């Protein structure tokens, strides 16, 4: 199982935490934005990181999915193809959420498309010179843009569209798809947290976005998450001695 | 007179093919270099569904440039306001201003390509109504958060309305100086007739084609690449309507004539020639100039070498220059 960090975009140390997670080798950074403004809050994370994948929370329902796709392709390019999106269904019912997420997914492919649904008609077919289809540009850097879903309508949307649902804390995976993302809150108690990540891994979760306990220092990312929790689920039967042994003194002159 | 640089369209074109990842990686380095050279601002531009990946989401790109810098202002020239949901775009802009400590300028325009409206499921006929709703949302949400709103328009009426709102304007680089003068005057008049809202005249910013060089070979190259950069507008379908003393500049109807007109706006030469050109620009009513030097195909090294010389030899001479009343 891969472990990433969940950050609150509004927090003062959000970008520093993303950079620290990147440096510590965490697999991904989940950018939470409770105001639905990840279109701009993910940019600084892209600049501050080089290797970690970036999962941005995208609030659907208050903007055209084509516009949301355009923001994502820009952020994908700005991150060198490290972006994924977590579509948050918010207050939309299943039918509305399914249409918006389907249109978003369509707009993230390098393929001319046309969409007709109760909520959106793309292209509108009003301008005489407009074509029958459109294509969002630039295309994503990635072959296939990763799109996850969460929220009240997520389970049905995920099932209908065949995309991963980000499982809330403690929820059991219902399938064995190749990608089963989930979230978990760490306590800071090593025994409890080791048991937590081990259980999540055994349950079939493939990617776990953890949140640090309140007031945890940035050093918890290399010294706790990367040193103890990531190795614990990086193989079956990790010999904990390898993480618990003393680190040698600092290299002379380093 | 203050100086910015633009426009970052973030394209990967037939003439200059490269990865879109490289384009955005370069944006980060170029923003930092611009800041180091002492320029005030960097300006981005927006279009949609175009083959070259012309930046379709300028607020996301602005977030990247702002994150890479600490003193440089970053602006949109322009964000096409009717194409987005008004309150969301206002909240995004407010967040950018808050997180950059007020370094974000939101230039907004109406848009002119019917296919862009159609591609968003919208009727271009609704653009004024949607723009009005957008401006109201910006006034309610973005401006109180420190977002400076800059208006793009090519008509005296549009500029007068911007002045009446107490907002700055940004003029296109392809506008002949006669049109710049007319639009700047309309902006000033609109502000004065509205009772001078804000108490301080809002700025007139002009994008201008400028290149400092004593080399005849570089001069020829710059003008050739300026010309090529305006061929883009034939593809996009841009035009400048006839107004006052300014003839029509239609890139679709008469490409050669329009290209000659746009390239003819270029201020090019040694220090004295460029200073004289900028003095004339200030006399036309312009407060600040954005150098239109990010032209397709021009080597980045040559662009930044020129920007370094301009910052050293030209900008200091014009620090106290004021726009003519």
By the CB < 8 Å criterion, does A47 face chain B?
A: yes
Q: Cβ contacts (< 8 Å) between A48 and chain B: which residues?
A: 67
In a 10 Å sphere around its CB, with 0-12 CB exposed, 13-18 middle and 19+ buried, how is residue B219 labelled? middle
Structure ipTM = 0.96
pLDDT of residue B131: 96
Closest partner CB to A66 (pick from B51, B54, B120): B120
Residue B223 counted as domain residue? no
Number of domains in chain B: 1
Of the candidates B70, B6, B63, the one whose C-alpha atom is nearest the C-alpha of residue B36 is: B70
Which residues are CB-neighbours of A63 under 8 A, at least 6 positions away?
A: B84, B85, B88
A73:B51 CB<8 A: no
Mean pLDDT over A32-36 rounds to 93
CB contact under 8 A, A128 and B115: no
Using a CB–CB cutoff of 8 Å, tell me whether B70 touches chain A: no
Establish if B96 touches chain A: CB-CB under 8 angstroms. yes
Residues in A closer than 8 angstroms to B122, CB to CB, are 124, 126
Residue contact B25–A127, C-beta within 8 A: no
Closest residue in A to B85 (Cα) is A63
Give how far A181 is from chain B: nearest CA, Å. 26
Q: What is the mean pLDDT of chain A?
A: 96
Is the pLDDT at A48 greater than 90, yes or no?
yes
Please report whether residue B192 resides in a domain.
yes
Please give the pLDDT value at position B247: 72
Rounded to whole angstroms, how far apart are CA atoms A164 and B266?
54
CB contacts < 8 A (A, B): 152
Supply the pLDDT for residue A219. Answer: 97
Residue B244: per-residue pLDDT: 75
Q: Where are the beta strands (DSSP E) in A9-93?
A: 28-32, 53-59, 83-88
Across the interface, of B25, B60, B117, the residue whose CB is closest to A127 is B117
User: Of A110, A64, A70, A105, which is closest to residue A86 (Cα–Cα)?
Assistant: A105
Mean pLDDT for A15-23 is 98
- pLDDT of the residue at A174: 85
Selected residue of B25, B63, B235 to mutate for chain A interface (largest A Cβ count, 10 A): B63
Q: What pLDDT is attached to residue A31? A: 97
Say if domain A2-244 classifies as CATH 2.60.120.1030.
no
Domain assignment of residue B169, yes or no: yes
Identify which of B20, B50, B114 has the shortest CB distance to residue A130.
B114
User: Quick one: average pLDDT of A6-14?
Assistant: 94
CA A254 to CA B152: how far, in whole Å? 54
Q: How far is CA A88 from CA A9, A60, A81, B276, in A?
A: 15, 6, 21, 56
Nearest by CB: B56 against A15, A41, A70: A70
- pLDDT of B105 reads 97
CATH number, domain of B310, equals: 3.20.20.30
Helical pair A38-48 and A65-78, crossing angle rounded to 10 deg? 10
Low-confidence ranges of chain B (pLDDT < 70): none
B67 contacts A129? CB cut-off 8 A: no
Q: CA Rg, chain B, in Å?
A: 18
Q: List pLDDT tens digits, range A184-208.
A: 999 999 999 999 999 999 999 999 9
Is B298 inside a domain boundary?
yes
Contacts of B49 in chain A (CB under 8 A): 134-137
Question: What does the alpha-carbon distance between residue A235 and residue A232 come to, in Å, rounded to a whole number?
Answer: 7
**Domain layout of chain A by residue ranges:** 2-244
Asked if residue B242 belongs to a domain, the reply is no
**Residues of chain A above pLDDT 70, percent:** 100
How confident is the model at residue B253, as a pLDDT?
Answer: 77
Strand pairing report for B249-250 and A115-116: unpaired
Q: How far apart are CA B123 and CA B116, in angstroms?
A: 10
Would you call B72 an interface residue with chain A, using a CB distance cutoff of 8 Å?
no
Cβ–Cβ < 8 Å for B113, B158: no
Query: Does residue B73 sit within a domain?
Result: yes
Contact A137 B124 (CB under 8 A): no
Q: How far is A117 from chain B (nearest CA, A)?
A: 11
Contact: A134, B49; criterion CB under 8 Å: yes
> Model's pTM, two decimal places?
0.96
The CA distances from residue A5 to A211, B108, B151, B273, in Å, are 6, 36, 40, 56
């Amino acid at each position: 199982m891969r472990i990433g960090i969940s950050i609150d975009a509004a927090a003062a140390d959000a970008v520093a935490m993303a950079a620290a997670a990147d440096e510590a080798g965490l697999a991904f950074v989940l950018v939470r934005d409770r105001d639905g403004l990840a279109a701009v809050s993910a940019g600084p994370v892209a600049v501050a990181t080089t290797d970690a994948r970036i999962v941005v929370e995208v609030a659907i329902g208050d903007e055209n999915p084509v516009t949301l796709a355009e923001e994502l392709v820009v952020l994908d390019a700005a991150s060198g193809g490290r972006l994924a999106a977590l579509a948050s269904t918010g207050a939309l019912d299943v039918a509305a959420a399914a249409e918006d997420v389907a249109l978003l997914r369509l707009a993230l492919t390098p393929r001319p498309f046309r969409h007709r649904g109760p909520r959106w008609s793309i292209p509108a077919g009003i301008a005489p010179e407009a074509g029958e289809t459109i294509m969002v540009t630039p295309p994503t850097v990635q072959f296939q843009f990763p799109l996850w879903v969460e929220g009240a309508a997520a389970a049905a949307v995920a099932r209908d569209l065949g995309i991963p649902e980000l499982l809330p804390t403690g929820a059991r995976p219902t399938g064995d798809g190749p990608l089963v993302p989930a979230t978990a809150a760490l306590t800071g108690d090593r025994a409890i947290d080791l048991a937590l990540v081990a259980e999540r891994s055994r349950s079939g979760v493939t990617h776990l976005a953890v949140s640090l306990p309140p007031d945890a220092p940035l050093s918890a990312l290399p010294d706790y998450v990367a040193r103890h929790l990531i190795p614990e689920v990086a193989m079956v039967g990790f010999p904990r001695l390898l993480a618990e042994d003393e680190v040698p003194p600092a290299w002379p002159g380093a | 007179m203050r100086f910015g640089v633009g426009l970052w369209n973030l394209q990967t074109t037939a003439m200059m093919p490269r990865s879109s990842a490289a384009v955005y990686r370069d944006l980060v380095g170029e923003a930092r270099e611009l800041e180091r050279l002492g320029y005030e601002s960097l300006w981005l531009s927006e279009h949609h569904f175009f083959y070259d990946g012309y930046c379709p989401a300028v607020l996301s790109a602005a977030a990247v440039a702002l994150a890479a810098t600490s003193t440089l202002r970053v602006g949109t020239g322009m964000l096409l306001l009717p194409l987005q949901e008004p309150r969301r775009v206002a909240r995004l802009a407010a967040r950018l201003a808050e997180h950059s400590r007020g370094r974000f300028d939101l230039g907004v325009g109406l848009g002119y390509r019917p296919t862009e409206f159609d591609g968003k499921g919208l009727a271009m006929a609704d653009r004024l109504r949607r723009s009005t709703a957008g401006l109201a949302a910006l006034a309610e949400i973005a401006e109180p958060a420190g977002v400076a709103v800059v208006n793009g328009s090519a008509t005296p009426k549009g500029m007068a309305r911007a002045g009446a709102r107490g907002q700055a304007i940004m003029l296109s680089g392809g506008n002949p100086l006669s049109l710049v003068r007319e639009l700047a005057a309309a902006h000033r008049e609109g502000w004065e007739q509205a009772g001078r809202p804000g108490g301080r005249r809002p700025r007139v910013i002009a994008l201008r084609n400028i290149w400092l060089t004593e080399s005849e070979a570089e001069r020829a190259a710059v003008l050739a690449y300026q010309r090529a950069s305006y061929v883009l507008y034939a593809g996009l379908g841009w035009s400048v309507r006839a107004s006052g003393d300014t003839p029509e500049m239609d890139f679709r109807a008469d490409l050669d004539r329009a290209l000659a007109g746009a390239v003819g706006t270029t201020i090019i030469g040694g220090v004295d020639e460029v200073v004289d050109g900028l003095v004339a620009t200030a006399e036309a009513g312009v407060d600040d100039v954005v150098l239109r030097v990010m032209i397709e195909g021009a080597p980045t090294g040559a662009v930044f070498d020129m920007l370094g010389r301009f910052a050293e030899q030209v900008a200091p001479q014009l620090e106290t220059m004021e726009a003519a009343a």
